[in-house]
A and B are shown apart, each in its own frame.
Chain A
Amino acid sequence: MKILVVLRMIPDSAGELELTSDGRGIDREWLDFQLNDFDDHALEEAILLKEASGATVVAVAIGEGSNRVLQMAVARGADEAIALEAEGDGMIDSRAIAGSIVALARSKAADLLLCGVQSTEDLFGQLVPYAGALLGWPHVSGSSRVGIEASALRVTQERGGGIAATYEIALPAVIGVQTASKAPRYVSGSKLREASKTAIGKAPSEPAGFERSAEIVALRLPGQRGSGENLGDNPENVADRLASILAAKGFAGV
Chain B
Amino acid sequence: MSETPILWIVTLAAAALTLWRSRRYIAALAQAPGASRFDQPWRRLEGVAIAVGLHRKMLRKPLSGILHALIFVSFFVLFTVTIEAFGSRLFPGFSLTPIGGDSWIALLQDLFAVLMLLGLGLAVYQRYALKPARFRGSSGSDAAIIYVLILLIVSSLLIEAGARIVGGADGSWRPVGSLVADLLRALDLAAHPTERIAYWIHIGAILAFLVYIPGSKHRHMFLAAPNIYFRNLEPAGTAPAVPSERENPGVTSLGQFDWKQQLDLLSCTECGRCQAVCPAYASGLPLSPKMLITDMRDALANDASGPLVGGIIAEETLWACTTCRACMEACPVEIEHLPKIIDMRRHLVDEGHVSPMLQDALTNLTRLGNSMGKPSKMRARWTKELGFPVKDARSEPVDVLWFVGDYASYDPRVQDVTRKVAELFTAAGVDFGILFDAERNSGNDVRRAGEEGLFETLAQSNIDAIRECSFNRIVTTDPHSLNALKNDYRHFGAEFEVLHYTALLAELIAAGKLDITAAGGALVTYHDPCYLGRYNGGFDAPRDLIKAAGYTLHDMPRCRENSFCCGAGGGRIWQGDDGVKERPSENRIREALSLGVDMFVVACPKDKVMYTAATDALGVAGQLKVVDVAELISLREAPAAETDDRVEGCAING
Contacts and interface: CB of A to CB of B under 8 A. Distances in A.
Interface of A: 12, 14-16, 30, 32, 34, 183, 185-193, 233
A18 to B, nearest CB: 12
Contacts of B376: 32
B377 A15 contact: yes
B367 interface: yes
B105 to A, nearest CB: 61
A70 to B, nearest CB: 14
Contact of B354 (A32, A186, A233): A186
A16 B378 CA distance: 9
Interface string B355-367: 0100100110011
Given A188-B249, A233-B621, A193 B453 contact: yes
Contacts of A189: 366, 451-457
A190 B246 CA distance: 13
B375 interface: yes
A225 to B, nearest CB: 19
A186 B366 CA distance: 11
Contacts, number: 56
A167 B359 CA distance: 32
Contacts of B373: 14
A187 B374 CA distance: 21
Contacts of A192: 366, 453-454, 457
A189 B454 CA distance: 4
B350 A188 contact: yes
B621 A186 contact: no
A233 B620 CA distance: 11
B453 A30 contact: no
Given A32-B368, A189-B457, 20 more contacts: A14-B373, A14-B374, A15-B375, A15-B377, A16-B375, A32-B375, A32-B377, A185-B352, A186-B349, A186-B354, A186-B359, A189-B366, A189-B451, A189-B452, A189-B455, A190-B452, A191-B453, A192-B457, A233-B621, A233-B622
A188 B359 contact: no
B377 A188 contact: no
A34 B249 contact: no
Contact of B352 (A34, A187, A193): A187
Contact of A188 (B367, B375, B453): B453
17 contacts: A12-B375, A14-B374, A32-B367, A183-B356, A186-B362, A188-B349, A188-B352, A188-B451, A189-B366, A189-B451, A189-B455, A189-B457, A190-B350, A190-B452, A190-B456, A192-B453, A192-B457
A191 B352 CA distance: 10
Question: Which 10 A-B pairs rank lowest in CB-CB distance, beginning with the nearest?
Answer: A189-B453, A189-B454, A190-B453, A186-B352, A185-B352, A186-B359, A15-B375, A188-B350, A188-B349, A186-B354
B436 to A, nearest CB: 13
Contacts of A233: 621-622
Contacts of A30: 377
Given A14-B374, A30-B377, A183-B356, A190 B249 contact: yes
Interface string B305-320: 0000000000000000
A188 B349 CA distance: 6
Contacts of A32: 367-368, 375-377
Contacts of A190: 248-249, 350, 452-453, 456
Contacts of B356: 183
Nearest to A189: B453
Nearest to A234: B622
Interface string B454-488: 11110000000000000000000000000000000
**Considering residues A30, A34, A185, A189, which has the most beta carbons from chain B within 10 angstroms of its beta carbon?**
A189
A112 B356 CA distance: 29
A20 to B, nearest CB: 18
Nearest to B374: A14
A67 B218 CA distance: 58
Nearest to B358: A186
Nearest to B622: A233
**Considering residues B349, B453, B457, which has the most beta carbons from chain A within 10 angstroms of its beta carbon?**
B453
Contacts of B352: 185-188
A191 B350 contact: yes
Contacts of B363: 186
Interface in B363-416: 363, 366-368, 373-377
Contacts of A188: 249, 349-350, 352, 451, 453-454
A188 B363 CA distance: 9
Interface string B327-365: 000000000000000000000011010101001001100
B454 to A, nearest CB: 3
A34 B363 CA distance: 11
Contacts of B452: 189-190
A234 to B, nearest CB: 9
A14 B375 CA distance: 7
A15 B352 CA distance: 28
Nearest to A190: B453
A11 B352 CA distance: 26
A54 B367 CA distance: 30
